[in-house]
Structure 1
């Protein structure tokens, strides 16, 4: 993560900007010389309802990723065979029109370009992700009510602004930059450490902030995020999932898979895995799993409806 142009407020806890998927392989596959112009479509594709809605192919995908340094790029992985997909696409297109150049909606037909779907670990449609400064951000993997989709995009725009991605595409308008917001010293220390990918130092700063202010919700969420980042650093995803499949009652193996699921946007899978584990194990193992689940609640966001549902499942598993 590169240093932003101004001091931001901490990113909302449900947005993880670190390595949810690896886009490098797709970038390397294309030799296309120029970025697609806003409003451009692939041959045979229906024109978008806005110059800020584009059809993406495997060849033009890398150029769309380049635009993520200027504006948030929302990736709509859809299929014409899915009614749910069509509903999500219509909502996202309306939002893109309203944003008027402050975001780009990149639509990917998964039936035509399965490689892109695989890069985002899209197991089904609709799946929606975003890209900020080349870094992927999972958004949703199922049909949600329009107000929830709008809330997710709103949160994305806040995270983008906090990380200096607040431009406007040609033909749109750019809002005046918000007044610089100063972070508390320990939060700034943590943020600087995150930019340097020193997650241990970031965690230490957040712990000191919590020692001073135990009710500091931003520090608590930040600590949970950087601890997740630290656990995922250098992880071999294939090996982690293989160990999880071979050792269903090994707490460490199962929690490692849950971390991968959270980073990849498979929130409900992660929560089900841990609550199921809690129901099967006892003593220190159960407490370790319970505490990890509470940490992941902070990563996702305690107001998220999936967290509310998982809290009920946790209560049933414990009692």
Structure 2
């Protein structure tokens, strides 16, 4: 690893920390299970809170300064990652102005710098700003290469159910479709067209409409019968046959023009919205529609 001034540092090898290794107090106790481990380290507590602690867990030492904006930003990122880790490793914060002998021991001349400590020695380091995802990947790589037994982070709690959505779902399950639809529509008005409630509105409207058609329309509707083919597409989709439903409407687009063509295209786009746009059959149907239109 190249250090802040371009010189190759001793990460992965020996670094002389003896100047900081006088008798020190007991280390800061670990957090309760699942809690983040974030400590502030001074010169008197360095041995206990970093060297001794690294015998049993990974310690990420952040050298920072209050006057350095990148330091402050990286510190916030590291604290967020420590919280997410739930005690799987310890974040040790060192204010280089308050504890100048610590960065000197590592030969660090610029901040911010993060040093991974394991078994009393630095095993990896980086300096400067990085994205959270990069840092998280670096931590995993450090743990794997050093053979650090990482404790499992506490599972993130499931987000609380939205009581509005719960109430709307209960109405739907009770068979009160009209009331459920009204409830979802009210939520969608607030949460927007890309919300879960808006998706529920589209699905319910489709189900209500599709269930009103005679299933025989699939075989009785003429190829250029706009109303018949719109109904047939609904029935096909309700029967879990989306490719055939899309093909019926794409063929209708080819055979019609003007307002009839617009109706067929609009209905097809509405049916697309009932699915994940990345679904292969949706992608294929969109290509067929483009060919039919142009």
Bin for the TM-score computed over the shorter chain: 0.3 to 0.5
Q: Relative contact order, CA 8 A, sep 6+: which one is greater?
A: 1
Q: Which has the larger radius of gyration?
A: 2
TM-score normalised to structure 1 length: 0.41
TM-score normalised to structure 2 length: 0.44
